Structure 1
Amino acid sequence: MNCKNCDHPLSEMDNFCQSCGAKVIRNRLALRNLIESFSEQFLNYDNKFLQTFIMLFKKPEDVIGTYIDGTRKKYVNVVSYFAIAITYAGLFAFINQKYFPGVYDRLFGAVNQNEAQVQFTSDMLYLIFEYQAFIFFLMVPVLALMSRLVFLKNKKYNYTEHIVITMYAYAQASLFVTTISFIAQFDKQLFFLNSILGLPLQILYFAYILKRMYNLNFVQIFLKTLLFLLILGMFYVLFVIVLLIYLFAFTDFFQQVIEAEKAKKGVSYIISSAINWTS
């Protein structure tokens, strides 16, 4: 009998291949095997995904540092972890659009925005959902560049290694925020709180990772965070300008907002005229 993965010869007593380490499977595939495999990979405490998720909160320098140093088996590798985060966020977006259409219109309307603001915010959010995979890939090199600029004088990690740091940090933050966002859409107060604290918490988590990776004290990371926010602000302004140019040139978004505002003013005028006439 030979290994089904690498074709290495096996004895009848082997439970694992001595060449590639794969488990020897002798039985036909059954539903029980699938359930056991799922449980082994994702539900038990020792699985790599759960360990990676926990340790990225407890000791992110161990997960990221060991990967940069060459260890690949202890935790989920950065590409796979990033792919899991993208898939999870995509599933969340699909469920929202498929089974909860208009939920954000109602939630934004509940925080005292006028109709035009609700339309603008909701359209922006759905635009982000539609292109979120592209945004994920676009943000990684940009955030890595910003963090590298912050630590420009520190040569401990180069730009490529900052990409690894950013991918782990961005994936972890995405997994956490996506879960909270899904829960928050069923509660208006939690949704409002999440919309306010979501971005600051992600920035704080990113700062926490860099603090652990560079072994900084509180004052050092505070100053580095201020510098990071300054650079982030400049990149954000540039992003908004590019986005507005795109919306203006390739969509009818602004026309819809203008028409919604005109309709609102028309309704207000009719109501005001009716009140004056009756009085």
Structure 2
Amino acid sequence: MNCKNCKIELIPDSDYCNKCGARVIRNRLTFGNLFSHFSEEFLNYDNKLLQTFISLLTKPEAVIRSYISGTRKKYVNVISYYALAITIAGLQFYILQKFFPDALNMEAISTEATAASNTEVLNFVTEYQSIAMILNVPIYALMSIIVFIGEKKFRYNYTEHLVIYMYLLAQLSIIGFFIVIISAMCGLSFGQVSFISGPLLLIYIGYSLKRIFNLDWLNFIMRTLIFICVLIVFGIIASIIMFGVMYFNGDFEKMVEAQRKAIEAQKVLKDTIN
């Protein structure tokens, strides 16, 4: 009998291929063994996905250092984990648009004059969220290189910083999915949840980087201040690029027009009252 994946001849009675590690499948596919395989891969406590998710919460340095050092069997591959996060992010906005459209209303965190423009920005982010997630990783990795210049104990190259932020941003996306959907069920808008959870997500990144780079508190505070400064600079650049794209594809004009109509409606309402 040969391995169905790499075609090498198998040792008799072996359960896994001794070359590629694939599980040997002898039984014909049925609903029962399909469900059994699904349960084994995703529902039991020892599966890689659950182990990766829990470890990235409790000991993120173990997952990331293991992958960087070459130990890659225990946890989900970083590419697969990030691809899962992108899929979940797309599912999140689909669920909100389909079942909780009011959750995408930005009025709760906006003035009457800015609600329409904020909604247009949210629509833009929703439309390009997959591209934004992909671009976030190299940007955060570059910021991290700048922040951790001079860190000798754990000096990672740019590719290794990419791995760090792919894991961390994927984890935040998966956590955010549950927070946003549960909050939408409770009547909170996406804007309100983002406003509340934003600081908590930054705390998680800080907590993870402190453990990954094994920083003492003084060094951690110093790096945090540098990170905030770099984040502000990159945030300004990102905002300019985003509004530039919105300008060229017509979304910026829609945003300005929506804001103008909101201001005019507000003036009419005031005149009517007076």
The answer to whether the superposition gives a TM-score over 0.5 is yes
Alignment root-mean-square deviation, CA: 2.0
In the alignment, the residues of structure 2 paired with residue 19 and residue 138 of structure 1 have an alpha-carbon distance, to the nearest angstrom, of: 36
Based on CA coordinates, which of the two structures has the bigger radius of gyration? 1
Sequence identity percentage: 44
In the alignment, the residues of structure 1 paired with residue 177 and residue 232 of structure 2 have an alpha-carbon distance, to the nearest angstrom, of: 23
**Aligned pair 1:54/2:54, yes or no?**
yes
Count, aligned residues:
269
Corresponding residue of 1:109? 107
Corresponding residue of 1:262? 264
Corresponding residue of 1:219? 218
Corresponding residue of 2:91? 91
Corresponding residue of 2:42? 42
Correspondence 1:43-192 to 2 at 5 A: 43-105=43-105, 108-110=106-108, 113-155=110-152, 156-188=155-187
In the alignment, the residues of structure 1 paired with residue 94 and residue 77 of structure 2 have an alpha-carbon distance, to the nearest angstrom, of: 26
Long gaps (5+) in structure 1 = 273-279
TM-score for both structures, normalised by structure 2: 0.90
Residues 50, 266 of structure 1: alpha-carbon distance in 2 compared, 3 angstrom cutoff: same
Residues 243, 22 of structure 1: alpha-carbon distance in 2 compared, 3 angstrom cutoff: closer
Which aligned runs of 4 or more in structure 1 are off by greater than 4 angstroms?
A: 188-193
1:102, CA displacement in angstroms?
A: 3.8
Q: Secondary structure at the match of 1:115?
A: coil
In the alignment, the residues of structure 2 paired with residue 18 and residue 144 of structure 1 have an alpha-carbon distance, to the nearest angstrom, of: 37
Contact (CA 8 Å) 1:81, 1:168: kept in 2 or not? yes
Residues 86, 99 of structure 1: alpha-carbon distance in 2 compared, 3 angstrom cutoff: same
Residues 24, 130 of structure 1: alpha-carbon distance in 2 compared, 3 angstrom cutoff: same
What does the per-residue CA deviation read over 1:142-166, in whole Å, with 9 as the maximum and x for residues that have no partner? Answer: 1111111011112411121111111
TM-score for both structures, normalised by structure 1: 0.89
In the alignment, the residues of structure 2 paired with residue 9 and residue 223 of structure 1 have an alpha-carbon distance, to the nearest angstrom, of: 57
In the alignment, the residues of structure 2 paired with residue 101 and residue 191 of structure 1 have an alpha-carbon distance, to the nearest angstrom, of: 10
What does the per-residue CA deviation read over 1:7-60, in whole Å, with 9 as the maximum and x for residues that have no partner? Answer: 222465333333333222222111112211111111100000110111111111
1:127, CA displacement in angstroms?
A: 1.6
Q: Secondary structure at the match of 2:215?
A: coil
Residues 11, 209 of structure 1: alpha-carbon distance in 2 compared, 3 angstrom cutoff: closer
Long gaps (5+) in structure 2 = none
